Structure formats: structure tokens, C-alpha cells
Amino acid sequence: MSQRLVLENINKNFDQLVAVENVNLTVEPGEFVCFLGPSGCGKTTLLRIITGFESPSSGTIRYDEKVINNIIPQKRDFGIVFQSYALFPNMTVEENVAFGPRMRRMPQKEIEQRVAEILRLVGLTQWKTHYPAQLSGGQQQRVALGRAIAIKPRVLLLDEPLSALDAKIRIHLRTVIKRLQKELGITMIYVTHDQEEALSLADRVAIMRDGRIEQIGTPWEIYREPMTKFVAQFVGTSNFIEGIAKDDHVRFDGKTFRVEGLSGEDGQGVHLAIRPEKIRLLTDKEATSAAHASNVVSVETEVVTFLGAVVQITFLLDGVDMNVDITEEKFEQHAIRRGDVIQLYFPPDAFHIYPKTSSAG
Ligand SMILES: Nc1ncnc2c1ncn2[C@@H]1O[C@H](COP(=O)(O)OP(=O)(O)O)[C@@H](O)[C@H]1O
Ligand SMILES: [Mg+2]
């Protein structure tokens, strides 16, 4: 028996508008999957299709080997948490959490045990007799989480549950959610437009764009090997260079970089992407003896930003703003100030290459 959730060729149109296009996805039991993408890319629609509040225009949804397309939401036994807490205002914290189990006519004693356990997990034991209006936003969302898991859902679906909260509480609640998932071994699907949230929480991230899943993988895979320019742009920071490929080089605006991994792009336009931490700061001496001299450029530092252990330096390359991240230690060694000219090395193997003809414009 495999309690997998499988989406096969899911499409959803609203009249002319294609909200979800040909989505295929398998979520393993106990897995934490995030749908990450900009506003309007179809995340909520896809989640609503899984919950059963929306039916797909075509495609099959399976859970535990059974087709569930025609099963109503209440019978799917999936828990749901929205951005708005939607708590019962006239019920205490305890009563809110007990609501689901009560509706399912669970024995009173079991309900009490379950509620106590959940309040402990979400850290609300001391607030159990309070009403929602007496709680902060973060506490209310913890009640909503508790209420959703009280029915022991087979899958917990969360739609931007933290977006209404301020940064500090958001980060704290991430930990609460991750702990819940670990302790309960529950399958979770979590929708967000916040890449940091997705990368920190998920086992696998599905990057969505215009209704499609553009790439799916572990956070590390997505960060390391973004398959399209869109993903390289959306996840983490990338610097982009536009040029023409020729043999193992890319030429742009009078400069030429040696680039590893080019194949079949000869004479064609390409976008190169390079992460800020991959560009290296050289001393003048290192610059003159670099293995690939063409990949060394002199630039003027425009902005210096301290980000704690890392210092980010913004510079212009052919009129485009770019960033290089260097360690605080290196920053001090080089005694860099705004306006200084520095030598940067773009390693030939540090680029991702995207053909200019790709849809990822
Ligand atoms: N009930 C609906 N009727 C018509 N269009 C809708 C409906 N729900 C969503 N859409 C459209 O579908 C697209 C995807 O929306 P949504 O799934 O809410 O995106 P996201 O959650 O990623 O912001 C948007 O263009 C949105 O306007
Ligand atoms: Mg949404």
C-alpha cells in the first residue's frame, strides 16, 4: 500500500485562461513539497485541485492508488491551512483544535488527549482557554495549524500560511511547521512565492511559471543547476550576461569569456548566468597570472553592502548591474572602498548557459 499522491497531466482552464498546464507530480508519503512561483502562476489553483475545491479541466488525481477526482473535499481527509486563519471567533483555542475530531465523533477522552498533544506541538498550551481575538497573528496561525492537523489528515496543504505575518514570526513558525512535519511524519504540500521559505522547508521544490512546473528538485539541485533562465533568476541571485557563442567562448560587447559546457550554440545568442559567490576577487598579481586571462575584468565598485559574514559588492559590467559576494575576511584584506577598481575572475566552469531562443526570456 503506497499512500502516494499522484497528479497526472493536470490542466485547468478558466474560460480562455490556462491556469494550470500539464502538471505531473508524485508526492511520496511523508514528503514536504513546496510549490514556488510568482503571483498568478497557478499555485493556489493547483492546491485547490488537490483539495477538491476545484476540479481539473482534465487529468487524474490519485491518492493511495485510487482515483480521487470525484471525491468531495471532506472525504479526502486532507487538512488545509490558508493565509487567513479563518478560526471560529466564538470558540477558545482548545475548542477550535477540538472541532474536527468532534465532528468526526471521536471519543471525548481521545479528543482531550489529541488536543493536549497538539497544543504542546504548536506551543499553545498556556493559551488554550483564550479566544482568537486575544491572540497575535502568529498565535492564531498556530491555532489554524493545530486545527488542521487535529483530524490526522493524510496530507496537509498550506497556501502561503505565513505571508500575513512579520519576518521574525515567519521564521519562527517555519521551525514549528518543520517540527510538526518531522514528528507527525505527515505529507505536506506548501505553496509560497517566498524562495527562502521554500528552500528552507521543502524536501523538494516545484518551481511554477505560467501554470506549468518548470523544474522540480531538492533545494540544492534547484540552486546548483537551474534548468532555465527563469529558475536561475527566481531562485537565489544570478548575474546575467548576454552574448554570442563561438567555439568555447562567449563574446559580448568587445569582451570574450571562456565558458565551459557550450555545445551546439555556435554563432547563437546565449544568456550566461553566474552566482555572485562564484565570481572571485583577485589581487593585481593574481590577475596578471590567471589561467584564463580573458575571464578577468577590471570593474569599479559601485555599492558595498554588508550582509554579515558576506560582503556584497555591486559593479557594472557593460551597463548591467552585477553582484559579487566575498567573505568579510577577503574584503578586509583587500581594503575595498566604494569607487575602487577591483579585479574579478569569472571561472569558465561557473556559468550556466541558456540559449536565447528558449521561452525563458
Ligand atoms: N476562479 C477563477 N476564475 C477565473 N480565473 C481564476 C480563478 N482562480 C484563479 N484564476 C486565475 O488563474 C491564474 C492563477 O491563479 P492562482 O492559482 O491564484 O495563482 P497563484 O496562487 O500562483 O498566485 C491567475 O491568472 C488567476 O487570475
Ligand atoms: Mg495563491
Nearest atom (ligand 1) to Cα of 191? 21
Cβ(160)–Cβ(83) under 8 Å? yes
Ligand 2 centre to CA of 120 (Å) is 30
Nearest atom (ligand 1) to Cα of 160? 21
Give yes or no: residues 161 and 12 share one domain.
Answer: yes
Residue 46: nearest ligand to its CA?
1
Give yes or no: residues 268 and 349 share one domain.
Answer: yes
Give yes or no: residues 247 and 159 share one domain.
Answer: no
Residue 55: nearest ligand to its CA?
1
Query: Taking residues 346-361, what's their average pLDDT?
Result: 82
Nearest atom (ligand 1) to Cα of 38? 22
Residue 160: nearest ligand to its CA?
2
Ligand 1 centre to CA of 43 (Å) is 8
Last residue of a domain, one of 231, 261, 280: 231
pLDDT band at 291 (very low <50, low <70, confident <90, very high): confident
Give yes or no: residues 54 and 143 share one domain.
Answer: yes
pLDDT band at 309 (very low <50, low <70, confident <90, very high): confident
Please count the CA atoms within 13 angstroms of the CA of 354 that sit on its side-chain side: 24
Residue 82: nearest ligand to its CA?
2
Residue 361 has pLDDT above 50, yes or no: no
Give yes or no: residues 200 and 80 share one domain.
Answer: yes
Q: Regarding predicted confidence, which is higher, 24 or 288?
A: 24
Last residue of a domain, one of 179, 199, 231: 231
Query: Taking residues 154-179, what's their average pLDDT?
Result: 94
What pLDDT, on a 0 to 100 scale, did the predictor assign at position 85?
A: 82
Q: What share of the chain is helix, strand, coil (3-state, %, to 5)?
A: 30, 35, 35
Domain count within the chain: 2
Domain of residue 92: give its range: 5-231
Give yes or no: residues 246 and 97 share one domain.
Answer: no
Going by CA atoms, what residue is nearest to atom 9 of ligand 1?
45
Ligand 1 centre to CA of 343 (Å) is 47
* DSSP 8-state assignment for residue 147: H
Going by CA atoms, what residue is nearest to atom 5 of ligand 1?
14
Residue pointed to by grid coordinates 498533544: 117
Query: pLDDT per residue over 93-102, tens digit each?
Result: 999 999 999 9
Going by CA atoms, what residue is nearest to atom 8 of ligand 1?
45
Give yes or no: residues 79 and 219 share one domain.
Answer: yes
% of residues, the chain, pLDDT over 70:
99
What's the CATH code of the domain at 337?
2.40.50.100
Ligand 1 centre to CA of 19 (Å) is 6
Pocket test for ligand 1, best of 10, 18, 45 (most atoms within 8 A of CB): 45
Which protein residues are within 6 Å of ligand 1, measured from CB? Answer: 14, 17, 19, 37, 39-45
Give yes or no: residues 207 and 289 share one domain.
Answer: no
Going by CA atoms, what residue is nearest to atom 24 of ligand 1?
40
Q: Which residues contact 91 (CB under 8 A, 6 or more apart)?
A: 99, 131, 132
What pLDDT, on a 0 to 100 scale, did the predictor assign at position 99?
A: 96
Nearest atom (ligand 1) to Cα of 193? 22
- pTM of the complete model: 0.91
Give yes or no: residues 178 and 227 share one domain.
Answer: yes
360 belongs to a structural domain: no
What pLDDT, on a 0 to 100 scale, did the predictor assign at position 308?
A: 86
217 belongs to a structural domain: yes
Ligand 2 centre to CA of 101 (Å) is 28
User: Rounded CA gap, 255 and 203, in Å?
Assistant: 41
Give yes or no: residues 226 and 296 share one domain.
Answer: no
Query: Taking residues 137-152, what's their average pLDDT?
Result: 95
Residue 7 has pLDDT above 90, yes or no: yes
Give yes or no: residues 218 and 297 share one domain.
Answer: no
What pLDDT, on a 0 to 100 scale, did the predictor assign at position 271?
A: 95
Last residue of a domain, one of 199, 231, 263: 231
Query: pLDDT per residue over 24-79, tens digit each?
Result: 999 999 999 999 999 999 999 999 999 999 999 999 999 999 999 999 998 999 99
Cβ(191)–Cβ(45) under 8 Å? no
Going by CA atoms, what residue is nearest to atom 4 of ligand 1?
14
Going by CA atoms, what residue is nearest to atom 27 of ligand 1?
40
224 belongs to a structural domain: yes
346 belongs to a structural domain: yes
Give yes or no: residues 262 and 113 share one domain.
Answer: no
Ligand 2 centre to CA of 160 (Å) is 7
89 belongs to a structural domain: yes
DSSP 17-51: EEEEEEEEEEE-TT-EEEEE--TTSSHHHHHHHHH
Ligand 2 centre to CA of 24 (Å) is 19
361 belongs to a structural domain: no
Going by CA atoms, what residue is nearest to atom 7 of ligand 1?
14
What mean pLDDT value characterizes the chain? 94
Task: Give me the count of residues in the chain.
Answer: 361
What's the CATH code of the domain at 126?
3.40.50.300
What pLDDT, on a 0 to 100 scale, did the predictor assign at position 357?
A: 73
Nearest atom (ligand 1) to Cα of 15? 4
Nearest atom (ligand 1) to Cα of 39? 23
User: Rounded CA gap, 275 and 347, in Å?
Assistant: 11
212 belongs to a structural domain: yes
What pLDDT, on a 0 to 100 scale, did the predictor assign at position 360?
A: 45
Tell me, rounded to whole angstroms, the distance of Cα 194 from its chain centroid: 6
Query: Taking residues 225-249, what's their average pLDDT?
Result: 95
Residue 278 has pLDDT above 70, yes or no: yes
Query: pLDDT per residue over 107-132, tens digit each?
Result: 999 999 999 999 999 999 999 999 99
Query: Taking residues 137-143, what's their average pLDDT?
Result: 95
